[in-house]
A = this chain, B = another copy of it.
């Protein structure tokens, strides 16, 4: 009997908790992003709290645009335990830089869009003014 077996989630529950679909959870396991999770006697998956926590962190990587390939690398390191912390740190720091650069680029491009928004706003105001004078 596994300790805390009651805290284990079905795939449905894990999907709800992580915001992924059951399809995606199975897909992630298939491609090796997740190591095979535990199974109940009937062969159904049971997600341990640990599994859920891992998925939730992987979601942060995903949400910041990390490609799945790289997530697989990171996940593999997670499963290796403490000896891989230095390498994990390296990956995360590299990713931080990529995302920060990306945000910077977004903001630069947004500035051009803001410029155009101002231009359009001005044009509309002038238009409006003309109507009031004419």
Contact = CB atoms under 8 A, between A and B. Distances in A.
Q: Is the interface of A mostly helix, strand, loop or mixed?
A: helix
Interface in A54-87: 57, 60-61, 63-65, 82, 85-86
A117 to B, nearest CB: 5
Contacts of A95: 113
B85 A113 contact: no
Contacts of A88: 120
Interface residues of A, number: 33
Interface of A: 57, 60-61, 63-65, 82, 85-86, 88-89, 92-93, 95-96, 99-100, 102-103, 105-107, 109-110, 112-114, 116-117, 120-121, 123-124
